[in-house]
Chains A and B, each alone.
Chain A
Amino acid sequence: MSKSISELFNTDKKLVSIYFTAGFPQLHDTVEIIENLEKSGVDLIEIGLPFSDPLADGPTIQESSTKALRNGMTTELLFEQLSDIRQRVNIPLIIMGYFNPVMQYGVEAFCQKCEDIGIDALILPDLPLREYQLHYKEIFNRHGLDLIYLITPQTPEERIRAIDEMSNSFIYMVSSSSTTGAKAGFSEENQEYFKRIADMKLKNPTLVGFGISDKNSFDQATAHSQGAIIGSAFIKHIETQGIDQISSFVQNLKA
């Protein structure tokens, strides 16, 4: 039985969530990356379904997506690669992608596959709250999937409250007004925002993402949250060091 996302948060330790793009660096690295991440002590994994036009992402994730697609990654292939993943790992798994590939696969069929595989939740940044509530929430929930919402420094308080109300596992707190991987380290202004959100005493825990690359930024991001999400820096690491050097990256964060 795999661990659920909500169980994950029954701890005081700061959680590490890692994003990687499926199909990168090599087409069939997906399972090995997931296994190595679990072995390295990561708490949560976001598997990126590559998209041709990833609007919310900076250059590192864009380029990894372009290469993954060029390598031949498809939605169907990712599901095939993950088909026995629950016999291999217990760590909570999230699929992160853009809405169009999900729509083309068929939202119902996509959710069914996720349920069969044992995916815990989805992050689809360009599926807006309203559309989700009106058309898709029922389908997601029927397949035991949660949709993780993003908030940013510009998100108004009442919208944050509404998102908190809708969420069941955690809230993805975008650290600053930026695309992924854009900024290094956090200003006082960023930290005030982290504190402001913490002071709202939301019912859901928060994980901070965007702009976290090393131990220093990880510690800053998690001073007022339950953990942080690292994507671009991890992708750069496996691109240069290889997927068998994952534990060194994770150890540095947790040191």
Chain B
Amino acid sequence: MSKFLADENGYYGEFGGAFIPEMLYPNTEELRVNYLEIMQRDSFQKEFKHLLKDYVGRPTPLYYAQRLSETYGTKIYLKREDLCHTGAHKVNNTIGQILMAKALGKKRIIAETGAGQHGVATATVCALMGIECVIYMGEIDISRQAPNVARMKLLGATVRAATSGSKTLKDATNEAIRDWINNPVDTHYIIGSVVGPHPYPDMVARFQSVISEETKKQLLEKEGTENPTHVIACVGGGSNAAGQFYHYLDREEVNIIAVEAAGKGVHSGESAATSALGKVGIIHGSKTLLMQTVDGQITEPYSISAGLDYPGIGPMHAHLYNSKRAQFVSITDAEAMAAGKRLSELEGIIPAIETAHAFAVLEHKKFESDDIIVFNCSGRGDKDLQTYIDYFEL
């Protein structure tokens, strides 16, 4: 058992657990008692693998980025999660959870979404399975992410505006949790990241672990070793990073780098650099690092990428940070945008702005010529085109 994965009570070191009101106890308990057994069923594994292959398009390539490598004088591979159906790694988790919901006999799906990527990935699998789908999205995010709202509607989902609090991702999550309190029997809540009460962080990490499982095999073919010297991924809640790090957690020779959004600067007051700015607290049922006032009120983060502006991080990442197993780097909006443009020009790959944060590490850190670096290219930039247009005045 890895010391970097959840123990039986859902703890990663001091982080994790299930800090939930009694009203949620039956829902999470049903999931906690059953999730491992369901995931291990042959029938479950068979259908999960089949859908990942034929519907999502897995395995995603591990691409050697020649020009990027030459530019930085090192060997760089991209795990192409941006090529997944719906444009990002998010769908690995929603495929897993929709099968979980079916196995539990649930008839209705709810989810939260920030930028809309997880909402689209959830609406997609609900369409695939013919299950009712309600997506909660902050009122402010609805107005700034119109194309994804339209996608969800086209896929047959109902999009409900979260109008409480700051009207963004954390409030959409609150509303989804409230829906679950009101519908405890027939509804499954598909959380989009490695956050929330146990067993969510562990379950979502397991569904995303296919990323590093494939990386090991692919790198062995290309480099004769399963282990890169570095794995690098961006962290909002942290699901793409959890998937990319998963099978390397106990391989101490593999350096892990987690990249957070510094917004306009870590100490600018407009940032989402949770590890640097956060303190231990409780958010959405999990004990983790989160951005808050001295009084324990959760604050609103900022990043140019909607997918990274979450005030907490998954408890697994909080533990990787505290135990120093992973190095955390903060990247500003400007650095991320420049890195996104560079990847587009050098490799013909337009990354999501979340993903671009990870690539900005190349400007921060000097790598050796014989290093082997694997980036999780977690999402594509189509959804961010308007932000790129506005930023670079294209």
Residues of A within 8 A of B (CB): 51-56, 58-59, 62-63, 66, 69, 74-76, 98-105, 125-128, 130-131, 149-152, 154-156, 159, 174, 177-179, 182
Contact = CB atoms under 8 A, between A and B. Distances in A.
Given A51-B297, A66-B165, A125-B21, A103 B184 contact: no
Contacts of A152: 22-23, 25-26
Contacts of A66: 164-165
A177 B23 contact: yes
Most buried by A among B185, B294, B295, B298: B295
Going nearest first, the 9 A-B pairs with the smallest beta carbon separation are A104-B296, A101-B296, A125-B21, A154-B26, A150-B22, A52-B297, A56-B21, A100-B296, A100-B282
Given A128-B19, A150-B23, A155-B22, A100 B184 contact: no
B165 A62 contact: yes
Interface string B292-323: 10111111000000000000000000000000
B283 A100 contact: yes
A149 B22 contact: yes
B50 interface: no
Given A126-B285, A127-B19, A156-B26, 11 more contacts: A53-B284, A56-B178, A66-B164, A74-B295, A76-B295, A103-B282, A131-B17, A151-B22, A152-B25, A177-B181, A182-B182
A55 B178 contact: yes
Contacts of A154: 23, 25-26, 184-185
Contacts of A100: 281-283, 292, 296, 298
A53 B181 contact: no
A69 B297 CA distance: 9
Interface of B: 9, 17-23, 25-26, 164-165, 170-171, 174, 177-178, 181-185, 279-285, 292, 294-299
Contact of B170 (A53, A150, A151): A53
Contacts of B280: 103
12 contacts: A53-B165, A59-B164, A74-B295, A101-B295, A101-B296, A125-B22, A125-B23, A126-B21, A126-B285, A174-B23, A177-B184, A177-B185
A62 B23 CA distance: 17
Contact of A53 (B18, B26, B174): B174
Contacts of A159: 25
A128 B32 CA distance: 15
Contacts of A174: 22-23
Nearest to A149: B22
